[in-house]
Amino acid sequence: MRIICYTLLSVSLMACSAARKAGQPAGIDPYHYQIQKKIICTQGAVVSAHPLASEIGVSILRQGGNAVDAAIATQLALAVVYPGAGNIGGGGFLVGHLSNGETIAIDYREKAPGHASRDMYLDQNGQAQTNLSQNGHLSAGVPGTIAGLFASAKYGKLPFKQLIQPAIDLAEKGFVITEAEARGLNASQEAFRRYNSVTPIFIKTGGWKPGDTLVQKDLALTLKRIRDNGQEGFYGGETARLIVEEMKRGNGMISYEDLQQYQAKERKPVIFPYKGYHIITMPLPSSGGILLPQMMKMIEDQPVKSYGFQTAASVQLMTEIERRAYADRAKYLGDTDFYKVPVKTLISEAYLRERMKDYDPHKAGSSKITQAGIIAESEETTHLSVYDAAGNAVAVTTTLNGGYGSHTVVGGAGFLLNNEMDDFSVKPGVPNMYGAVGADANAIAPGKRMLSSMTPTIVLKDRKPYLVLGTPGGTTITTSVFQTLINVLEFDMSTEDAVNKPKFHHQWLPDEIAVERDFPPSVREQLQQMGYTINQRNPIGRTELIRILPNGTIEVVGDKRGDDHAAGF
Ligand code: DON
């Protein structure tokens, strides 16, 4: 076995003296751990937003679990060590390519409660009250994560009890928090005070410091109920009672019936060819299932490789492609269980060729002129990538929506609820928290799933997994996955560069190119001269990438933009 491992960023966290060593798998110490950005290995790998979660995933692989088992254990661990996005009170998507050739897509997106209605966030004057769709009890959709994990477990090998135990131990005995977590929790203290009826554990007088130990007793009890009673340990019994009581105290909408009725759905994965590769991704309600094939097909016959990485020419081409895809998103995309989306046309080559007809490589396009295509027929998130020695590949993106979701913790149950209702179009044309607009296709209806951007993706080369990737980042998710794919498949970049080099984003409206701080100034100027508005913004996404080379070597890269950690053996 060959292990070469080097650490690009290393943070050592000291335990407070009172901390006791928790019963974690060998080698995992929740009071002393380091962040590892890259590992090259041969047996199996997990890359996620937190070192403890990645290492727990790998320990499950070492115990004989497969990639699905590891993905489940990693998600449960993230729900404890990464409360800003890891969750049991939110939802997500899993895309997998199993060693027997089967592809799977599991949808555990949140749903609008049964009493939700189209105009529930409009005041008497018809004004959208996005404070209500974005914060507190009313912003929460019916959580899907636990149903999703049990639906996934069917493809795993180990008992669920074994997968959830490390998370229980972390919640019960605590772990030390990183600098980024301390910063995140401190920035949300006011929101935690405002949106809770019972003081949550996340509030700390005097603020959090890196190295503080976070113990979550209520969460540990909830996880034990799930361990002992399965899905019903969340959607029924004491946990359901606590959720419904929390809703009553805070004027929320999720009812006992909503919880009992929630079901994860197995969907048909989107699979499309790209220059000899096969790309597998999540279908609707992930907009990625439409936008990624649209963007890849619009670029496929363009000379992007000869333009070079992040030249004005390549950024302009990709921007115009992104603009066209996102214009369609706003008009046509929503939950296909509720709305007839013209899926076939939107990803057909004839339609996409037509969309690119007015692309001018010398001039900035305009979102006033470029609208959604004409179709005649009717028709704080986190990502983890896992690969195992048997050849199973799993990509999971899961979310509470904003950082720490609604900021509402279910009293006595210790977990944060999502604020996913804001991913619906609360009113046509009114932007959500990511600036995205929508219309009828994504209007609120009882039991409907809100449109998502989450794009967990697997690329096959010669029918075997080659890349496993995904990222958080709201509407920037799909453009980040698009750019990471182009970086590897067209610009032949190293995996680290493909993940860490600056990203940019265009989403039709606002009509601007958002760029990261380290985006090259000279390219910025050239784009401005062509007529583009450029807006510098905070970091875009946190991409977790695994590449499996033909000789079996596994390259694993965690994004530089956070505590992301690559683990493997
Ligand atoms: O499903 C979606 O598209 C959003 N709720 C994702 C939110 C997200 O990525 C936040 N992370 N930065």
For the stretch 272-277, contacts whose Cβ atoms lie closer than 8 Å and that sit 24 or more positions apart, written own/partner, are 272/296, 272/297, 272/347, 274/300, 274/459, 274/485, 274/489, 275/300, 275/489, 276/461, 277/459, 277/460, 277/461, 277/466, 277/489
| SS3 of the chain: helix, strand, coil, percent, to 5 | 35, 15, 50
pLDDT at 17 over 50: no
Phi/psi zone of residue 64: left (φ > 0), alpha (ψ -120 to 50 degrees), beta?
A: left
| Average pLDDT estimate for 211-216 | 98
pLDDT at 16: 29
pLDDT at 18: 29
pLDDT at 143: 98
User: 93 CA distance to ligand 1 centroid (A)?
Assistant: 12
Query: What SS3 state is found at 350?
Result: helix
**Which ligand 1 atom lies nearest to the CA of residue 400?**
5
Model confidence pLDDT, tens digit, residues 93-122: 999 999 999 999 999 999 999 999 999 999
User: 167 CA distance to ligand 1 centroid (A)?
Assistant: 23
Is pLDDT larger for residue 523 or for residue 15? 523
What span, in angstroms and rounded, lies between the C-alpha atoms of 99 and 271?
A: 17
What span, in angstroms and rounded, lies between the C-alpha atoms of 409 and 87?
A: 11
Residue whose Cα lies nearest atom 2 of ligand 1: it is: 452
| Average pLDDT estimate for 226-248 | 98
Average pLDDT score, the chain = 94
Residue whose Cα lies nearest atom 1 of ligand 1: it is: 452
Could you tell me the pLDDT band of residue 376, with boundaries at 50, 70 and 90? low
pLDDT at 77 over 70: yes
Which candidate in 319, 381, 457, 495 is catalytic?
A: 381
Range of weakest confidence among 223-237, 284-298, 372-386, 499-513? 372-386
This prediction's pTM? 0.94
Residue whose Cα lies nearest atom 8 of ligand 1: it is: 474
Our mutation pick for probing the ligand 1 site, out of 78, 290, 381, 421, counting the most ligand atoms within 8 A of Cβ, is 381
Model confidence pLDDT, tens digit, residues 324-333: 999 999 999 9
Residue whose Cα lies nearest atom 12 of ligand 1: it is: 473
Model confidence pLDDT, tens digit, residues 250-265: 999 999 999 999 999 9
Farthest-apart Cα atoms in the chain, separation:
68
Our mutation pick for probing the ligand 1 site, out of 401, 432, 503, counting the most ligand atoms within 8 A of Cβ, is 401
Is pLDDT larger for residue 374 or for residue 164? 164
**Which ligand 1 atom lies nearest to the CA of residue 402?**
10
* Residue ranges around ligand 1 (CB below 6 Å): 380-381, 399, 401, 420, 423, 452-454, 472-474, 477
381 is catalytic: yes
* Helix residue spans in 380-520 (DSSP H): 476-489, 495-500
User: 399 CA distance to ligand 1 centroid (A)?
Assistant: 6
User: 481 CA distance to ligand 1 centroid (A)?
Assistant: 13
H and E: helices and strands count for the chain: 19, 20
**Which ligand 1 atom lies nearest to the CA of residue 401?**
5
User: 380 CA distance to ligand 1 centroid (A)?
Assistant: 6
Residue whose Cα lies nearest atom 5 of ligand 1: it is: 401
pLDDT at 522: 98
Could you tell me the pLDDT band of residue 23, with boundaries at 50, 70 and 90? low
User: 155 CA distance to ligand 1 centroid (A)?
Assistant: 26
Alpha carbon distances (Å) from 446 to 257, 335, 424: 12, 12, 12
Residue whose Cα lies nearest atom 10 of ligand 1: it is: 380
Q: Closest Cα to residue 49, out of 198, 181, 154, 223?
A: 181
